[in-house]
Amino acid sequence: MTVLVSGATSQIGRYLLPRLLQAGIPVLAVSRQPQPSQPGVEWWTGDLGDALSSFQGQTWQAIVSFTSMEGWLPWLAAQDSAPAPRIIATSSMSVVTKESSAQSDEQAVVAWLRRGETGLTTQAERLGMQWTILRPTLIYGAGIDKSLTPIVARARRARLFPIPMAHGMRQPVHADDIAQAVVAALHTDATAGKVVEIGGGERLHYAEMFRRVHASMAERTLPVPLPQALLRLLAAAVPRARGPVSRLQQDLIADNGPLRALLGIHPRPFQPDAGAWVPLSRNEALARIEAAAS
């Protein structure tokens, strides 16, 4: 049977589709934009809500969601029987790391994520579906993330690379490691009814993470250390920077113990190359997966 994937062109989706096809699993993929045809993948173009309305009465081997969990709730609430035996969705470690933030916008993100998690698990249990929620840390590896790739892009233009001199621990996780965790979760009941944290295979000081990003760039840029005093001035001058700056000294990490024990996934250390900051096509994702396996 087919696996339904929403957010199929997201960072994780770009790695998950090749891995599902390698496993001989056909895919029904939802994307807002038209996509090139691909053997083993049926593309549905449009909004998730419109897609779900058109799927009424269909069933799948599993549902995998990399989109907003709240987007599933009205449709799931309208179902009388399970559309799939299991659903696997991604949330974010921001549920934990931003929980004590004093910033109203960050508190809104936490509330939105919690509503999605609670609503999804409630509806899945009502329908008798197994559910698994993955909470990743900072994701990289497909060149379309909103965290590190924009910093690289600005550095290319300015030829300057800022390195905040902060020592909070970070644990960036490669998108393909999350894709592997999804595939593993499709083949086991071990994570049914569980929220599983997933971080990278290495914990780094914030400044060290930035140094490695800088070292990975193909272009030459001048590293510019940003001392703590300057960061505090930035937080005082720019209100929206207060939350991010306040967390620079905090440890934003995940516990990978359950991930290893339940799914056998051991995420890679943070050793990016220049390709990590370039938008990745599905063919390139497949080539990287095959190269890593050889």
90-103 pLDDT, tens per residue? 999 999 988 877 77
294 has a pLDDT exceeding 70 = no
Residue 12 in any domain: the answer is yes
Whether the CA torsion 275, 265, 256, 201 is positive or negative: it is negative
Question: In this structure, is residue 67 part of a structural domain?
Answer: yes
In a domain, residue 91? The reply is yes
Contact 10, 141 (CB under 8 A): no
| Assigned domain for 234 exists | no
Predicted local distance difference test score (pLDDT) of residue 249: 84
Tens-place pLDDT, residues 48-69: 989 998 988 899 999 999 999 9
What is the number of structural domains in the chain? 1
CATH number, domain containing residue 30:
3.40.50.720
Domain hosting 112: range is 3-142+172-202+252-269+278-293
- 232 in a domain, yes or no? no
Q: How confident is the model at residue 293 (pLDDT cuts 50, 70, 90)?
A: low
Give the model confidence (pLDDT) of 159-189 as tens digits: 999 999 999 999 999 999 999 999 999 999 9
